[in-house]
Amino acid sequence: MSDHHPDMNGIDRNEPRLGPIAHRGEGRHHERIYHERRDERRFIRVSPPFRVRLEDGQELPGADVSVGGFAVRTSRPLHPGERLSASLLLTAGASELIVPVRAECRHATAEQGGRHHVNGFEITDIEPPHRELLRQVVRSCLTGRQPSIESLMEGEDPQTPRKRQATHNSPLPPSRPPKPRGRYLLLFAAIGVLAIAAAATAYRNFMLIEPSFAAVTAPRIDIRAPGPGILEAHDLQAGDRVERDQALTSIANSDLKSELILSRASLNYNEQLIANLKEHLESAGGGQVSIASSARPESGEAMSFETVSPEIAQARIEQFETARDLESSRITALEARQASNDIYSPCECLVAWALSSADGTYVNESERIMTLIRTGEDDVMVEALVHMDDIERIEPNQTAYVSLPNASTPIRARVRNVALDVERQPRAGFPSWVRQQQNVASVLLVPEKDLPAESVGKPVDVRFTEAPLLGATAEWVWQGMRAVIQLGERVYRAATQEEETREAG
């Protein structure tokens, strides 16, 4: 069935159309193409000799086939929506081509008074090589030639002569879906993030002031031995908290105890001598009195006695009383020294270091036995050593940023004071060998957020800024980048440990 269109010059022109021609003797329709533009129509149904083999081995005669579907003849209609897996057995000369497909029934049409039904299927799944083979078979039928193995092996794609001349016998390239723009947006976003991170890192490292060393510090209190002796047992360790007036430890001084015992014995001896002498003086009735020669014997020899007049005896009583008072004062002093050996906490502090008392540790006078740090409000600060070349750029109340280890956000701080004498106030958490530098100054920083007392002694990263806005932006970007890197390292370590555990198990 071709449309007839006369042109202006009186010449008839036939547009390419698909025209069915009925042959009554054969009982079915045959389709024939008249100059069809097959480069633009790829889903035309053709009727080559073929069969459809189902999964159970049943074979059905084929009615027509196209690149997108096929039709089979059955004695009973199939239900629309029914899915099946089948193989198209296409005749190609003396050979047979097998094309496996998955299809879904779309319609069922009755023929010959309902004795036969034509069931149309849409191909839902087919491998790309099989689809290309089916396309070549269909296009070969559209050219009026039956497909053959020889033509397929030669790689010839059947087309009209006009199309072959335009494309030089090359098949049409398969259409590619447009590339999504999301990947480009993600790529540009990643490039922008990297550029911002690089700029923040460069500004932080080259424009901000970096100290030579910085650490979290707090006021230090050194507990020293009041005298020589053995350190009594205690259970204090670094990190323990102590309350004010809490007993810490004591020093056992055996020499002090012995001297105190002897002084008390001498006091009792003097009191007894005075009492006996007064009693003898009263009973003598003005006669001679026997008295001891000394109020405190210096050796282990027996005491000697002598006989004196009552006047001399009264004078000796006064001497014995003076010696008794001296011994009493001596005992008071020794008791005070002994009491000072019991050491108590001077504040609510944190134990930074304590000397072990195992195995009867002997300490000398003024030897350090314990170090306490004050952890009250505004006591825990950051101390930084800044080189003298940069110290002129730092002034009180200037802004700085402190980065604790394993922290994802910086802590804003302000400069409290700048001092050249780094030992003016003893502070715990700063190594002594760092303070030996001669070309640095000490800068104390007060953080706006209270630092934990457990962080005393930990080194920190400090940056001084002269432009708070730019400094804060650079610090936050750098800290965010560091947090991402730390997260990646933790995930990698966790995955590695899990893999090692799995291998060990």
pLDDT tops 60 at residue 423: no
User: Which residues, in sequence order, are CB contacts of 69 under 8 Å at separation 6+?
Assistant: 103, 106, 120, 121, 122, 123
Beta bridge partners of 133: none
The strand pair at 213-224 and 95-111 is best described as: unpaired
pLDDT tops 70 at residue 37: no
CA 89/CA 96 separation, integer angstroms: 6
CA 468/CA 412 separation, integer angstroms: 10
Beta bridge partners of 387: 440
pLDDT for 203 equals 65
CATH fit for domain 208-220+374-469, picks 3.40.190.10, 3.40.50.970, 2.40.30.170, 2.40.160.40: 2.40.30.170
Tell me the residue length of the chain: 505
Task: Quickly state the pLDDT bin for 398 (edges 50, 70, 90).
Answer: confident
More confident call, 41 vs 117: 117
Tell me the range of 82-86, 183-187, 200-204 where mean pLDDT is highest: 82-86
Specify the CATH class of 50-147 in words: mainly beta
Average pLDDT along the chain: 78
Q: With pLDDT > 70 as the criterion, what percentage of the chain qualifies?
A: 75
pLDDT for 164 equals 46
In this prediction the pTM is: 0.47
CA angle, residues 62, 66, 67, in degrees to nearest 5: 130
So where are the chain's domains?
A: 50-147, 208-220+374-469, 245-293+306-345
Give 441-489 pLDDT, tens digit per residue. 889 999 988 888 888 888 998 888 876 666 666 666 766 776 677 777 7
Quick check: do 50-147 and 208-220+374-469 share a fold?
A: no
